[in-house]
Every structure is written in C-alpha cells, then in structure tokens.
Amino acid sequence: MHVERHGKQGTPMILIPGLASGAWVWQDTVRQLEKDHVLYVVTLAGFDGQAATEGPLLEKARASLLDLIQTQKIDKPVLLGHSIGATLAIWFAQQHSELIRGVIAVDGLPISPGTENTPADQRPALAARFKTQMTAPTPEIFAAMQLQYMRTMGVIDEKLAQSAARHTSKSDPVATANYASEIVAMDLRKDMHKVLVPLLEISPYYATDFASRNISLEAKNAYYLSLLHGAPQLQVVAINHSRHFPMLDQPQAFAEALNQFLKTVQ
C-alpha cells in the first residue's frame, strides 16, 4: 500500500481509491480538505503503477490499513473510500470501529449490487465467472475496457472519461480482475450492526442511466439503504447528475456532502 500525506492539522482522514484507481481520484478532495485535516491518501497494491501482490488482496489491504493507523499513531481517522475502497472501509469498521470516528462510503457497499440474492455457496462460482469476464489478455484490451467503462458507467463528460481511463489503464490488469472477483465473493451485510461509528453512503444518480428501468433517485437510495441495513448510525445522501465517480462529475456537491458529515464527527 502506497501512502501520501497532506495537511498538517485537524481531524485525520484516510482516503482509499476504488478499483484500478490511485491518489489522482482525490485531487480536488485533497485541495478542499487539506487546510483542516491531516490526509493519508493510499493506493492499493497493483493500482496506478504500484507493484501487485498475491491474494487475498482485500484481506491484505485491511491489514495494511490497521498497520498504517497503528504505526503512524493516527488518532481515530475518518475513512473515506470509493467503490471497493468504500467496501474495504466498511469491512474495517466492522472489525475496528474503536480505532476510527466515521466512514464515508462513495458508491461502495457491503455487497456487490445485483448479487444480493445469490446464495453463499454460489458466490465463489459467480466470482470466478466475473474474474474471467474482467481479465484482459493484453494491455491494449485492458485500456479499451477502461475507456468503455468510464464512458458508460464511470463519468458523464467524454473528456473526463478519457482522462480517467488513461489513469486507470496504468493499473495491473490481473490485480484489477482479482480485486473485482474478491468483491463479488463478499457479503458483509450480516455484520453491519458492528459498524459502531457514523456511516455516510454517497449514492450517485444519473437519470439517463436509469430511465429504461424506471428507477428514481429515491428508489435507488432506498435500495442502498436496504443493502446497508443494520448499521446503527447510517445516512444515505444522493448526488444527482453523477455516475460512479461523483467526486469528478460533481466536485462541489461532493465537497458539500463531505463537509456536512465531517461537522458531525470532529
């Protein structure tokens, strides 16, 4: 796990990017927060040019977070995670709520959406199929997959999609597929009651993507609430007109959501 530090005073925070992402995804967020917070921006092994490692990847990442907090003597940080980084933050909170003061999960959940009805004994096979689908045989195909994802699910603006895809294409394709398959295999819902700190779920919503399924912003929020059921101090906040990267699509609305939550956990 690679770590960058920004800021000199204030409430500490650990920022965890999502799948195939690195510290670049938090660039605007760091500028917004570094005056009033000490920020530790991590990049997981295998992403954004960092060396890959052997699995289980998420378990090692969780252990690395614990090591970071303990060795750097970070006093109850807020965990801010995106995508699989959010799932990792929730998982960490289930085990170590006493070491943190809050979790902000950006479009990341305790279970991969759409798999919540898959029985536990079928999840390994589902994860294996997902890994096969995600595996790119060449760097060129991996880069094309990243661009297609960013254009259709990642962000709204085409130039932003191209820029983000250039970044994510620097990640290790095998590591990316392995992380994704581990997420699909997980179901953390039964332990949501163990998240004993305030939990904010940021739910991006882009009406064009949901029009064909007639899913409203309110319906998507309710769905996310159902997947997070059991967390004692939970709130879900929608950011409209954004896809999976609301910090890129709607940086101002994203900053406002963060600031409102952070006021409650100082």
Per-residue pLDDT of the chain (266 residues; tens, 9 = 90+): 899 999 999 999 999 999 999 999 999 999 999 999 999 999 999 999 998 888 799 999 999 999 999 999 999 999 999 999 999 999 999 999 999 999 999 999 999 999 999 999 999 999 999 899 888 889 999 999 999 999 999 999 999 999 999 999 999 999 999 999 999 999 999 999 999 999 999 999 999 999 989 999 999 999 999 999 999 999 999 999 999 999 999 999 999 999 999 999 97
pLDDT at 137: 87
Helix (H, G, I), strand (E, B) or coil at 235: strand
Distance between start and end Cα atoms, the chain: 26
pLDDT on residue 55: 76
Alpha carbons 23 and 180: distance in angstroms, whole number: 19
Q: Distance between CA 202 and CA 120 in Å, rounded?
A: 27
In angstroms, the CA 14 to CA 8 distance is 14
66: left (phi over 0), alpha (psi -120 to 50) or beta: alpha
Q: Three-class SS of residue 110?
A: coil
Tokens for 258, please give them.
Answer: 């963060």
Does residue 52 contact residue 67 with C-beta atoms inside 8 Å? no
Residue 53 has a pLDDT of: 86
2-116+188-262: CATH number: 3.40.50.1820
pLDDT at 207: 96
The pTM score is 0.95
**Angle value at C-alpha 87, between 83 and 89, nearest 5 degrees:** 110
- The confidence score (pLDDT) of residue 34 equals 95
